[in-house]
Structure 1
Amino acid sequence: MVQLNLQHFARAAPIPAQARKPLGACLVDQGLITRSQLDEALFLQSWQRAPLGEILVAEGWVNRQDILGALSEQTGLQIADLNTSPLSPKICQIQPVDFWLAHNVIPWQRLGPILLVATARPDLFPAVRKSLEGTGYTVMPVLAAADQIDATIARIFASPLAKAAEARVDLEQSCRSWIPRSRTGPALALIGLAGLFAAFPTIGLAVLVAAAVISLILFMCLRLAGLLAFVWQSLKHRPDFRPPDPPHASPFVSIMVPLYREREIADALICRLRRLTYPKALLDVILVLEETDEVTRATLAQVDLPSWIRTVEVPELNGLTTKPRAMNYALDFCRGDILGVWDAEDAPQPDQIERVVRHFAQADEDVVCLQGVLDYYNPRTNWRSRCFTIEYNSWFRVILQGIARLGLVVPLGGTTFFFRRDKLLELGGWDAHNVTEDADLGVRLSRAGYRTEMVDTTTFEEANFRAWPWVRQRSRWLKGFMVTYLVHMRAPLRLLRDLGAFRFLGFQAFFLGTIGQFLLAPVLWMFWLTSFGLTSPLDPILSDTVLLVLIGLFLCAEITNAAISALAVSARERRFLLPWVLTMPLYFPMGILAAYKALWELVLNPFFWDKTQHGQASEEGLPPA
């Protein structure tokens, strides 16, 4: 190993590429690996698009420090320890932070006209040198660990990276402009509307009834369309897909797992991730945590992370600690061609990434996102978890499948979605202030002319089975839906042009239908009083004919919901939930409290992230690995 010596650096010339000994031979000569291990690694490299060193590290035969030492012997380059050697932030300003991140390099020292740039990939350094030709320096490489380079970039550019994470999305499609002053007008409008209804109660009630019925029709039509499209596709003979691309085409995949105050989940999370069957040399799992999150940091410190799992800490700025902000920050440190997101409590199927890679390889170019199926591993915990599982299966296994097949806007599920990373960067990542950043991103990708498809793989999560935590979680979702709808309806004609009439109607049906069904449910409850012959405030405005029509409408809606739920849980492993489908009308009223909590927060605290606590249920429902 060549030791770094600044005084004698000028005499330490790199070994020419044609004269270098192969890296594997260096490792064998040093006794770090055997010849048979090298042969196996070379075989793996023949179909894995990964450096030999990464394959050896992923197999557990060497560590990254061993690889760095072998690279030093192979290339004649010296090794810099960025943790102990000083680095001048001023030197780093010769290029924007995006350049250093893209190449995973960082200027380390300046010796007169010579600029020493730290890299973990000397084979890629010629492109870096060429890009720095106009700086006036003679650029020379030194070796450094990739994690040290990332940490140095994060430290030097902490402030600009943190600011960029909060403002990646164009202002016109972001809710970050919702300062208290901008929310005063809508709040006064709501108060004025309430006063108008109080002054003219009959007219006001008629308007509310009309709004409730319209939202019911919209949402029922969306669900029915999704159901019919799903059934039609299921009955059709599925076309034969092209055979999977050969193994050597397997891309590098990054997975972000945002964590926040996770005390109970760390061990289980790492255990689930170890079950993944995708080549670890092509896998980059990033645990994203807040810089101030001592709970998660202390928990992870007790866990031995594999070489293919690393952590990224998000600097604090302006007190905003949302999941999308954290992911925006970590996005700059991802290196995969495909980027996915899992939540802390997720248990993905072991072959999930292979399925995603295969689907992307066969998909059209305008398909930039794949959404997997979400299910729960604790449906037997109590009645609420059973109903939640029925609801999730109805949405992800039936309705969303049909919606995606119809080409409508697909509101992403917050986890188990995968992007072509270059397209995600083009879209600006996530709106850091939106508490349902997933649904918003689904709308923005549709507005940009791209599509989301469903991928045939399942991730199991923990169903929120306690009453108040369920309300808090649902209120965050509904508040985010309200925010997303209001943001994109700032310019409805532009939204119509971007989406087209069909997608625009689907957008209205989902957001207005979802929000209206919860906010206006008390109005529909008054209708049932009239239906059963009891005195109701609706008596003066509902004729017998209108009442009969509404009875038919409500029965159709309930039959549709029951049919979707029954179909969704008809699989053998979920069939025990069929009797509980009949209790679903008793489950959804909790959402009314959540909706009004969301409406209150929309006015007073729209960016508040009501954290869901994970690790409260057993994993007995997980399928065997």
Structure 2
Amino acid sequence: MFTQQAQFDDGSHVGLHDATALTIAQSQAVLYRCAIINPCDRPADPALVDIWGAHRCLRDHILPWRRIGGAVVILTHKPEIFQQQALALTLRYGPVRMAITTEQHLFRAISESHVAALTERAENRVPDAISSRTWNARLMLVMSILVVLGTLVLFAMSPLTGFVVLSFWAVITLATNTILKAAAAIVGVFSRPTDADHLPIAAENLPVFTILIPLYKEKEIAAHLLERVKLIDYPRDRLDVCLVMEADDATTRASLGLTNLPSWIRPIAVPKGTLKTKPRALNYALDFARGTLVGVYDAEDAPAPDQLRKVARHFANRGEKVACLQGVLDYYNAPANWLTRCFTLEYAGWFRVVLPGLERLGLVVPLGGTTLFFRRHVLEKLGAWDAHNVTEDADLGVRLARRGYRTELIATTTQEEANGRFWPWVKQRSRWLKGYAITYGVHMRDPAKLYRDLGARRFWGFQILFAGTLSQFVLAPVLWSFWVMPFGFNHPMGHYLQGWVLISVVAMFIFSELTNMFVLALGVTKAEKMWLIKWIPTMHLYFPMAALAAYKGFYELTFKPFYWDKTTHGVLLPNKGAGKATGSPARQASDG
């Protein structure tokens, strides 16, 4: 544990802030005239737990303990839940009796006795048919070799034909992507992320909100993270912040070990498994969540203090089909260097223009990995996150759409730390593009079913957004080659680019550049960072890095598809950057 210790009356130990829970448990035991039991010292019968299911025991806050005197003793820290489940428990176990424990001991006892089952569940919640864990790397290798050999043969037989084919596909995908982006921009010119225009919810009516914050080898970020989390304006008795870390992550544990955590912030250690990814950690922690609403933040996030109240209000005033809310992401260290400025420009266009436009067009919304909020029961119904997908957020956005649920953008901002170093940026982007490719491949296993699930408009939007984006990055050098023509150099396509064909291609290139510039300018205008507009022309030097990232990502598709390239946080915090990054991240988040 990371807090001071207080002693149970039976000799075991709990965190100091759980002394209150012990007092409550003792009062409940007196009130209900039942025993108080510590299942960590006197373990439960695993077979009894298996009957109900370890994850259901966690969700229902009950622990079938032992069979004594012809009845099964059910431990709980919520007697009202035992009373609600009494009939179902009796049908499953026969006669049952209640005993009291604390939440900490109940969770700990189940997690220790059923570590294998809970770990396996965290890795396999999503059905095989729509999970990337069945990704066949060997088949991918064979297909990659065949594609490369086929391309080489085509170029050997006719270099011109090969270049024409690649150029045609590059130009077509550029045109469709540009049209989609332009449509989203037009829809988004006078729009902003949705903010439910309703009266606030009284504090006593706010739902319990669980926030999952996955951490891994976070040495620099811990102190900043806790400062920001403590600024969240939400009733503490209804706030459940879970710091989710790997059990063998000594770096993060040591960093947090110097801090006394309040009762509403608790660490959750994820046992070692067959892989180590963010979605696997989220899946494991979800079973321990207390809330009916679940949110996800990253370690470096600085959410607006009123964010959770806005989210709770929005969910309360939307139908059940609105299952996910995506907040706006921005960067608090934009002035640190050129790369962070470009990253901020890119995100401003994406989160403030393109994504709201996709939502209003009724298309699939690929989620960002943070500032995400879900109705818990829907998240569980969908199988939560795909533990093997390195862009679990985009995949979940597609699965939500396939099941008929809606994602809405909400008018609240979270400030993040932009990746401002070249190779870490490439590694991060390669992971994203690799995940996009895997997500596309998984959902295209059965195109006909995907078409039925999404409908024509969303199906073709999905094709443009995923296949088109991947094609653009891979074939970027082909598109760059066209820029030699204005300088009088010969181009392999020069013979074909005559008359109206030449005019159409030139017009499309100009339209694409103007659309990109407009989206970026509109994005930073909405973000109130007009000073970044002068950096838009330099984006021509920024996006080529993504081509390098795409090749790295496609290489990993074949040899290590589930490898998670970790991004180090706390490198370019505002006080370490230069320029206009003034004020604390928390203050900037509030201002955002």
Q: Same fold (TM over 0.5)?
A: yes
CA contact (8 A) 2:192 2:352 kept: no
CA contact (8 A) 1:2 1:73 kept: no
Report Cα offsets for 1:589-625 as digits up to 9, x if no partner.
1111101101111111111111100111123543625
**Distance (whole Å) between structure 1 residues aligned to residue 269 and residue 154 of structure 2:** 50
Picking from 281, 290, 296, the partner of 1:341 is 296
Alignment partner of 1:380 is 2:335: yes
Question: Which amino acid in 2 is paired with 1:370?
Answer: L
State the structure with more CA Rg: 1
CA contact (8 A) 2:195 2:310 kept: no
Picking from 209, 218, 235, the partner of 2:167 is 209
Picking from 430, 454, 466, the partner of 2:409 is 454
Picking from 180, 184, 192, the partner of 2:149 is 192
Structure 2 counterparts to residues 2-41 of structure 1, below 5 A: none
Which residue pairs with 2:242 in the alignment? 286
CA contact (8 A) 1:433 1:607 kept: yes
**Distance (whole Å) between structure 1 residues aligned to residue 320 and residue 85 of structure 2:** 30
Which residue pairs with 1:106 in the alignment? 63
Q: CA deviation at 1:287?
A: 1.3
Q: CA deviation at 1:520?
A: 0.8
Alignment partner of 1:151 is 2:143: no
Which residue pairs with 2:87 in the alignment? 130
Q: CA deviation at 1:487?
A: 1.1
Which residue pairs with 1:139 in the alignment? 96
Structure 2 counterparts to residues 493-508 of structure 1, below 5 A: 493-508=448-463
**Distance (whole Å) between structure 1 residues aligned to residue 108 and residue 139 of structure 2:** 38
Picking from 481, 484, 505, the partner of 1:529 is 484
Secondary structure of 2:38's partner? coil
Which residue pairs with 2:573 in the alignment? 618
Picking from 280, 304, 310, the partner of 2:260 is 304
**Distance (whole Å) between structure 1 residues aligned to residue 484 and residue 398 of structure 2:** 38
Secondary structure of 2:365's partner? coil
Q: Comparing 297-306 with 605-614, which one deviates more in the overlay?
A: 297-306
Question: Which amino acid in 2 is paired with 1:329?
Answer: Y
**How many residue pairs get matched?**
570
Report Cα offsets for 1:376-422 as digits up to 9, x if no partner.
01001001100100110111011111111111100000111111111
Q: Comparing 132-141 with 507-516, which one deviates more in the overlay?
A: 132-141
Which residue pairs with 2:556 in the alignment? 601
Q: 1:387 to 1:149 in 2, by over 3 A?
A: same
Question: Which amino acid in 1 is paired with 2:103?
Answer: A
Which residue pairs with 1:54 in the alignment? none
CA contact (8 A) 2:242 2:268 kept: yes
Structure 2 counterparts to residues 432-581 of structure 1, below 5 A: 432-543=387-498, 545-571=500-526, 573-581=528-536
Secondary structure of 1:256's partner? strand
CA contact (8 A) 1:375 1:459 kept: yes
Alignment partner of 1:263 is 2:225: no
Secondary structure of 1:168's partner? coil
Q: Comparing 87-96 with 590-599, which one deviates more in the overlay?
A: 87-96
Q: Comparing 483-492 with 455-464, which one deviates more in the overlay?
A: 483-492
Q: CA deviation at 1:474?
A: 0.4
CA contact (8 A) 2:207 2:291 kept: yes
Alignment partner of 1:63 is 2:20: yes
Q: CA deviation at 1:246?
A: 4.4
Question: Which amino acid in 1 is paired with 2:479?
Answer: L
Which residue pairs with 2:352 in the alignment? 397
Q: CA deviation at 1:98?
A: 3.4
Picking from 347, 353, 369, the partner of 1:414 is 369
Q: 1:542 to 1:161 in 2, by over 3 A?
A: same
**Distance (whole Å) between structure 2 residues aligned to residue 103 and residue 158 of structure 1:** 18
Percent of aligned positions that are identical: 45
CA contact (8 A) 2:213 2:241 kept: yes
Which residue pairs with 1:29 in the alignment? none
TM-score (norm 2): 0.91
Report Cα offsets for 1:89-127 as digits up to 9, x if no partner.
234233222331222121334333243322111232223
Question: Which amino acid in 2 is paired with 1:518?
Answer: F
Which residue pairs with 1:587 in the alignment? 542
**Distance (whole Å) between structure 2 residues aligned to residue 481 and residue 240 of structure 1:** 31
**Distance (whole Å) between structure 2 residues aligned to residue 589 and residue 162 of structure 1:** 40
Question: Considering only aligned residues, what root-mean-square deviation do their CA atoms show, in Å?
Answer: 2.5
Q: CA deviation at 1:282?
A: 0.8
Secondary structure of 1:176's partner? helix
Q: 1:2 to 1:313 in 2, by over 3 A?
A: closer
CA contact (8 A) 2:366 2:397 kept: yes
Question: Which amino acid in 2 is paired with 1:143?
Answer: I
Report Cα offsets for 1:525-576 as digits up to 9, x if no partner.
1111123211334334433543332221111111111111111112584122
**Distance (whole Å) between structure 2 residues aligned to residue 239 and residue 574 of structure 1:** 21
CA contact (8 A) 2:356 2:409 kept: yes
**Distance (whole Å) between structure 1 residues aligned to residue 362 and residue 527 of structure 2:** 30
TM-score (norm 1): 0.86
CA contact (8 A) 1:322 1:435 kept: yes
CA contact (8 A) 1:526 1:538 kept: no
Which residue pairs with 1:424 in the alignment? 379
Q: 1:144 to 1:572 in 2, by over 3 A?
A: closer
**Distance (whole Å) between structure 2 residues aligned to residue 193 and residue 174 of structure 1:** 29
**Distance (whole Å) between structure 1 residues aligned to residue 271 and residue 306 of structure 2:** 34
Q: CA deviation at 1:4?
A: 7.4
**Distance (whole Å) between structure 2 residues aligned to residue 399 and residue 204 of structure 1:** 33
**Distance (whole Å) between structure 1 residues aligned to residue 184 and residue 504 of structure 2:** 24
Structure 2 counterparts to residues 234-253 of structure 1, below 5 A: 241-253=197-209
Report Cα offsets for 1:430-462 as digits up to 9, x if no partner.
111110010011011111111110111001110
Picking from 32, 39, 45, the partner of 1:75 is 32
Alignment partner of 1:323 is 2:266: no
Secondary structure of 1:202's partner? helix
**Distance (whole Å) between structure 2 residues aligned to residue 475 and residue 98 of structure 1:** 34
Report Cα offsets for 1:343-387 as digits up to 9, x if no partner.
111111001000001111122331111000000010010011001
CA contact (8 A) 1:412 1:438 kept: yes
Question: Which amino acid in 2 is paired with 1:228?
Answer: I
Report Cα offsets for 1:147-195 as digits up to 9, x if no partner.
1111111112111221122221121211111233332442233233223
Q: Comparing 417-426 with 543-552, which one deviates more in the overlay?
A: 543-552
CA contact (8 A) 2:192 2:356 kept: no
**Distance (whole Å) between structure 2 residues aligned to residue 590 and residue 469 of structure 1:** 11
Secondary structure of 1:434's partner? coil
Which residue pairs with 1:14 in the alignment? none
Q: CA deviation at 1:78?
A: 2.8
Instruction: Return 5+ residue gaps in structure 1 as ranges.
Output: 6-56
Question: Which amino acid in 1 is paired with 2:439?
Answer: T
**Distance (whole Å) between structure 1 residues aligned to residue 216 and residue 45 of structure 2:** 32
**Distance (whole Å) between structure 1 residues aligned to residue 8 and residue 243 of structure 2:** 33
Structure 2 counterparts to residues 177-188 of structure 1, below 5 A: 177-188=134-145
Picking from 165, 179, 183, the partner of 1:221 is 179
**Distance (whole Å) between structure 2 residues aligned to residue 332 and residue 147 of structure 1:** 14
